Chain A
Amino acid sequence: MDLFRLFNRGESSNSKDIAKERLQLLLIHDRANVSPQFLEMIKSEIMDVITDYIEIDEDGFEFKLTRTKRESDNSTIPALVANIPIKKMKENIR
């Protein structure tokens, strides 16, 4: 599943809609002032923790800064989204 799609309001081929989508995502990164290196660091730490318990598809592991609507007031806020495909639970843990 592509989690990005979740936050995109429908598809559009209008170039202005593409511009708007790109800008919104771009500005989330700019405003949060999160470097790709920093995201990569968090991602690998999370991966370390999870792999202690679960066997995951490391290549399929997605970890991104995106945006979402806040329920309370419907405003757009930044969100960290992780998509972690599980291969199997590790036996010895439970």
Chain B
Amino acid sequence: MGEVIVITSGKGGVGKTTTAANIGTGLALEGKSVVLLDADIGLRNLDVVMGLENRIVYDLVDVVEGICRMKQALIKDKRYTNLYLMPAAQTKDKNAVNPEQMLKLTKDLAEEFDYVLVDCPAGIEQGFKNAIAGANRSIVVTTPEVSAVRDADRIVGLLEAHGLRNPQLIINRVKIDMVRRGDMMNIDDMVDILAIDLLGVIPDDEYIVISTNRGEPAISDSKSLAGQAYKNIVKRILGENVPFMNLDPEEGFMAKLAKAFGFRRK
């Protein structure tokens, strides 16, 4: 049985889809079999971020409704043979599926894959409940802003209420310059406030936009700082103990980053 990891946030636009695409690709690069499940029904995005939008025939709702078999809705990645996407339906709404159906679907997928990554929609309604239904591990993405952190805290509470203990935090779009000036909350501040384990920190990086333009996640490009940060997250998911200090000593950047954020040596 594979692991089902749901990527949540509460607030929209903080980087869930970007994170799902990069972690999924990263796990595939590490030799794992991975399926990305887009649970954002009605607002599908993961296909575009992965550059697979032209290959969609069937979607998640078709599988749930029995219109096609599970395998028919799995789209093979362009570059990695062990990476698949199951797209969301674009023309239906979140109520087209229910949590029991999602639980069954993720279970079936976990029989076939090492990792099932569920890209959760924004909000705390039906779409959220669907996305977390079959998860046994959860990630909360936030940006260092008051509204995003507030929503993240709400999500942590809801995840725990649904039996998903120990959600892990990804802080996305961190701007080192602003942190240095004292105009952006640093990592310690946010971990302190949210009181959950930190999985990783992603810098704000133009390369995310470039890679989204291309439909190729940043993690496969060694020039991208965000890609490097996602690589470390993938290693941590696989159980490696990657210190936050030495994310990438050659770059010099990560050392600076670590200093600016006041990381403690473990």
Contacts and interface: CB of A to CB of B under 8 A. Distances in A.
Interface stretch (A18-26, A35-43, A47-55, A79-87): A18-26
Given A24-B193, A27-B193, A17 B182 contact: yes
A27 B157 CA distance: 11
Interface of B is mostly: helix
Which size bracket describes the interface of A in this complex?
10 to 19
B185 A16 contact: yes
Interface of A is mostly: helix
B150 A31 contact: no
A14 interface: yes
Interface string A4-24: 000000000011110110111
B105 to A, nearest CB: 32
Nearest to A17: B182
B154 interface: yes
B146 interface: yes
Interface string B148-160: 0110011001000
A27 B153 CA distance: 8
Interface residues of B, number: 16
Contacts of A30: 150, 153-154
A23 B150 contact: yes
B189 A20 contact: yes
A68 to B, nearest CB: 16
Interface of A: 14-17, 19-20, 22-24, 26-27, 30-31
Interface of B: 144-146, 149-150, 153-154, 157, 179, 182-186, 189, 193
29 contacts: A14-B182, A14-B183, A15-B182, A15-B183, A16-B179, A16-B182, A16-B183, A16-B184, A16-B185, A16-B186, A17-B182, A19-B145, A19-B146, A19-B185, A20-B185, A20-B189, A22-B146, A23-B149, A23-B193, A24-B193, A26-B146, A26-B150, A27-B153, A27-B193, A30-B150, A30-B153, A30-B154, A31-B153, A31-B157
